[in-house]
Amino acid sequence: MSASADFEPTIIGFLCRWCSYTGADLAGTSRVKYPPNMIPLKVMCSGRVDPSLVLKALADGADGVLILGCHPGDCHYHEGNHKTMRRVPMLKSVLQQYGIDPARVRLEWVSASEGDRFAEVVHDFTEEIRALGPQKRVESVA
């Protein structure tokens, strides 16, 4: 699908406060450039990102949802990100079956020291969503 050149994707980012959110800060302070499309939301752990939040974000206007957590083994709550690791593919399989491109949801591990990686992930995902085009919504039936 080719999107119009002036399409600016809206992306919701769920960022674990212990790692990725700090990684984002680092990217900011070290002035690494990354696209402004992502609205970052701080969460206590990627394990707190319930699939319903992701679906709601898509339904409420996001074109893509990025979930960033600590690398496996580094989760502040031990297994929080292991849950996420299983939930996200499950959610993707549901989206796929419903006819929504599962690439609109992405899970990545970004530690507090990976400012560059953070910027790269955001950039990459933004471009992917840009290529996918806007997520269309059903108009009200009432």
Residues near 48 by beta carbon (within 8 Å), at least 6 away in sequence: 80
Least distance in Å: CB of 43 to ligand FES? 8
Q: Which stretch binds ligand FES (CB under 6 A): 27-35, 73-81, 99-107, 133-141?
A: 73-81
Q: Which stretch binds other proteins (CB under 8 A): 28-36, 63-71, 94-102, 122-130?
A: 94-102
Least distance in Å: CB of 119 to other proteins? 24
Site string for other proteins, 30-69 (x = CB under 8 A): --------------------xxx--xx-xx----------
Q: Which stretch binds ligand FES (CB under 6 A): 6-14, 43-51, 54-62, 112-120?
A: 43-51
Residue from 87, 17, 20 nearest 53 by CA: 87
Outline where 6-114 has alpha helix (H).
20-29, 51-60, 80-98
Query: What does residue 15 show for φ and ψ, rounded to 5 degrees?
Result: -115, 125
From CA 15, how far away is CA 114, in angstroms rounded?
Answer: 13
